[in-house]
Amino acid sequence: MIAVILSGHGAFASGLEQAVNQVIGEQVQFKAIDFPVDMNTSQLESAMRAAIKEIDSGEGIVFLTDLLGGTPFRTASMLSQERQDIEVVTGTNMQMAAEMLLERDELTIAEFSHQAIECGHRGITSFAAQLALQNEKPVTVEEDGI
Protein backbone atom coordinates (compact mmCIF):
# COMPACT_ATOMS: atom_id res chain seq x y z
CA MET A 1 0.00 0.00 0.00
CA ILE A 2 1.26 3.47 -0.88
CA ALA A 3 2.06 5.50 2.23
CA VAL A 4 0.70 9.06 2.35
CA ILE A 5 2.21 12.00 4.23
CA LEU A 6 0.07 15.12 4.39
CA SER A 7 1.77 18.42 5.21
CA GLY A 8 0.91 22.09 5.13
CA HIS A 9 1.11 25.44 6.84
CA GLY A 10 -0.32 25.96 10.32
CA ALA A 11 -2.72 23.18 11.30
CA PHE A 12 -3.69 22.41 7.70
CA ALA A 13 -2.47 18.81 7.87
CA SER A 14 -3.89 17.85 11.26
CA GLY A 15 -7.16 19.62 10.49
CA LEU A 16 -7.56 17.84 7.18
CA GLU A 17 -6.55 14.55 8.80
CA GLN A 18 -9.29 15.01 11.39
CA ALA A 19 -11.86 15.77 8.69
CA VAL A 20 -10.78 12.78 6.58
CA ASN A 21 -10.97 10.48 9.59
CA GLN A 22 -14.50 11.73 10.29
CA VAL A 23 -15.64 10.98 6.74
CA ILE A 24 -13.78 7.76 5.83
CA GLY A 25 -12.38 6.53 9.14
CA GLU A 26 -8.86 6.32 10.45
CA GLN A 27 -6.30 5.33 7.84
CA VAL A 28 -3.18 3.19 8.11
CA GLN A 29 0.13 4.32 6.60
CA PHE A 30 -1.07 7.92 6.74
CA LYS A 31 0.68 10.68 8.65
CA ALA A 32 -0.13 14.37 9.00
CA ILE A 33 2.68 16.84 9.62
CA ASP A 34 1.81 20.43 10.48
CA PHE A 35 4.16 23.33 9.77
CA PRO A 36 3.30 25.87 12.49
CA VAL A 37 4.78 29.35 12.55
CA ASP A 38 7.32 28.41 15.26
CA MET A 39 8.76 25.45 13.29
CA ASN A 40 11.77 25.92 11.00
CA THR A 41 12.55 24.09 7.76
CA SER A 42 15.10 21.82 9.40
CA GLN A 43 12.53 20.68 11.96
CA LEU A 44 9.98 20.06 9.20
CA GLU A 45 12.51 18.01 7.26
CA SER A 46 13.27 15.94 10.38
CA ALA A 47 9.56 15.34 10.95
CA MET A 48 9.12 14.26 7.32
CA ARG A 49 12.10 11.90 7.49
CA ALA A 50 10.71 10.37 10.70
CA ALA A 51 7.30 9.92 9.05
CA ILE A 52 8.90 8.19 6.07
CA LYS A 53 10.64 5.73 8.40
CA GLU A 54 7.46 5.17 10.37
CA ILE A 55 4.98 4.44 7.58
CA ASP A 56 7.07 3.32 4.57
CA SER A 57 5.88 -0.07 3.35
CA GLY A 58 8.28 -0.23 0.43
CA GLU A 59 5.48 0.43 -2.08
CA GLY A 60 6.11 4.15 -2.41
CA ILE A 61 5.31 7.35 -0.58
CA VAL A 62 3.22 10.29 -1.74
CA PHE A 63 3.43 13.66 -0.05
CA LEU A 64 0.22 15.68 -0.29
CA THR A 65 1.01 19.34 0.40
CA ASP A 66 -1.05 22.49 0.62
CA LEU A 67 0.65 25.15 -1.48
CA LEU A 68 2.83 25.08 -4.57
CA GLY A 69 6.18 26.64 -3.70
CA GLY A 70 5.55 26.64 0.06
CA THR A 71 8.01 25.19 2.56
CA PRO A 72 6.18 21.85 2.99
CA PHE A 73 6.11 21.43 -0.79
CA ARG A 74 9.77 22.40 -1.23
CA THR A 75 10.93 20.19 1.65
CA ALA A 76 8.97 17.17 0.39
CA SER A 77 10.27 17.82 -3.12
CA MET A 78 13.85 17.83 -1.86
CA LEU A 79 13.24 14.48 -0.12
CA SER A 80 11.71 13.08 -3.31
CA GLN A 81 15.01 13.67 -5.09
CA GLU A 82 16.67 11.13 -2.79
CA ARG A 83 14.39 8.24 -3.76
CA GLN A 84 12.59 7.23 -6.93
CA ASP A 85 9.56 5.97 -5.02
CA ILE A 86 8.52 9.34 -3.56
CA GLU A 87 6.07 11.65 -5.33
CA VAL A 88 4.86 15.10 -4.29
CA VAL A 89 1.38 16.42 -5.12
CA THR A 90 0.35 19.92 -4.12
CA GLY A 91 -2.90 21.87 -3.92
CA THR A 92 -4.41 19.21 -1.69
CA ASN A 93 -8.08 19.48 -0.85
CA MET A 94 -10.51 17.28 1.08
CA GLN A 95 -11.84 15.61 -2.08
CA MET A 96 -8.35 14.59 -3.13
CA ALA A 97 -7.20 13.39 0.29
CA ALA A 98 -10.27 11.27 1.05
CA GLU A 99 -10.61 9.65 -2.38
CA MET A 100 -6.92 8.92 -2.79
CA LEU A 101 -6.57 7.36 0.65
CA LEU A 102 -9.37 4.97 -0.28
CA GLU A 103 -7.98 4.11 -3.72
CA ARG A 104 -4.25 3.82 -3.09
CA ASP A 105 -4.20 0.01 -2.74
CA GLU A 106 -4.81 -0.56 -6.41
CA LEU A 107 -2.49 2.09 -7.91
CA THR A 108 1.14 2.53 -8.79
CA ILE A 109 2.78 5.64 -7.41
CA ALA A 110 2.62 7.32 -10.85
CA GLU A 111 -1.07 6.45 -11.24
CA PHE A 112 -1.73 7.77 -7.73
CA SER A 113 -0.18 11.16 -8.55
CA HIS A 114 -2.06 11.50 -11.83
CA GLN A 115 -5.39 10.46 -10.32
CA ALA A 116 -4.89 12.72 -7.28
CA ILE A 117 -4.60 15.76 -9.53
CA GLU A 118 -7.74 14.80 -11.46
CA CYS A 119 -9.57 14.15 -8.21
CA GLY A 120 -8.54 17.49 -6.74
CA HIS A 121 -9.79 19.29 -9.85
CA ARG A 122 -13.09 17.41 -9.69
CA GLY A 123 -13.56 18.60 -6.11
CA ILE A 124 -13.39 22.26 -7.14
CA THR A 125 -16.81 23.30 -8.40
CA SER A 126 -19.87 25.30 -7.43
CA PHE A 127 -23.49 24.52 -6.72
CA ALA A 128 -24.52 26.38 -9.90
CA ALA A 129 -22.09 24.34 -11.98
CA GLN A 130 -23.43 21.09 -10.52
CA LEU A 131 -27.02 22.14 -11.27
CA ALA A 132 -26.04 22.99 -14.84
CA LEU A 133 -24.44 19.57 -15.27
CA GLN A 134 -27.53 17.91 -13.88
CA ASN A 135 -29.76 19.84 -16.30
CA GLU A 136 -27.61 18.80 -19.28
CA LYS A 137 -28.15 15.08 -18.65
CA PRO A 138 -30.92 13.60 -20.80
CA VAL A 139 -33.89 12.24 -18.92
CA THR A 140 -34.24 8.50 -19.42
CA VAL A 141 -37.34 6.44 -18.89
CA GLU A 142 -36.68 3.19 -17.11
CA GLU A 143 -38.62 0.16 -18.23
CA ASP A 144 -40.63 -1.46 -15.48
CA GLY A 145 -40.41 -4.92 -17.03
CA ILE A 146 -44.08 -5.10 -18.05
Over residues 76-121, the pLDDT tens digits come to 999 999 999 999 999 999 999 999 999 999 899 999 999 999 999 9
**pLDDT, position 106:** 87
- Sign, Cα dihedral of 88, 94, 100, 102: positive
> pLDDT band at 134, cuts 50/70/90?
confident
DSSP state of 29: S
Which amino acid is present at 102?
L
- Report the C-alpha gap between 99 and 33 in whole angstroms: 19
Superfamily of domain 3-136: Phosphotransferase system, mannose-type IIA component (3.40.50.510)
What's the CA gap between 65 and 31, in Å, rounded? 12
Dump pLDDT digits (tens) for 17-46: 999 999 999 999 999 999 999 999 999 999
- Delimit the domains of the chain by residue range: 3-136
CB 45 within 8 A of CB 79: yes
DSSP 104: G
Mind giving me the DSSP string for 42-97? HHHHHHHHHHHHHH--SS-EEEEESSTTSHHHHHHHHHHTT-TTEEEEES--HHHH
| 125 pLDDT tier (thresholds 50, 70, 90) | very high
Per-residue pLDDT at 141: 54
| pTM as predicted | 0.89
